[in-house]
């Protein structure tokens, strides 16, 4: 009985996390460039990150790297 209850709880937790992760949308929708984030990855303590900005292309914010 205890094993069954534990299995059901684990199954509910897994399904809950699965459905939450399914609803995440990584793209930011926009209509103009002002709807996008300004500048990201400007952190001198992490040298591997390249500074970038976002531009609105086809109603989605697209990350553009500085050269």
pLDDT in tens, the chain (67 residues): 888 999 999 998 888 887 776 655 567 789 988 888 877 655 666 656 667 788 899 988 888 877 6
Q: CA–CA separation, 50 vs 65, rounded Å? A: 7
Structural contact between residues 61 and 27, judged by C-beta atoms closer than 8 angstroms: yes
Q: Angle at Cα 32 formed by Cα 30 and Cα 24, nearest 5°? A: 10
Look up the pTM and report it. Answer: 0.47
- Strands 60-65, 52-57: pairing is antiparallel
Residues paired with residue 52 on neighbouring β-strands, in sequence order: 40, 65
């Amino acid at each position: 009985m205890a094993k069954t209850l534990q299995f059901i709880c684990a199954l509910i937790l897994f399904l809950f996390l699965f459905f939450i992760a399914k609803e995440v949308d990584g793209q930011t929708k926009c209509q103009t460039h002002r709807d996008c984030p300004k500048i990201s990855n400007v952190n001198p303590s992490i040298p591997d990150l390249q500074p970038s900005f976002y531009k609105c292309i086809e109603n989605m914010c697209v990350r553009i790297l500085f050269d």
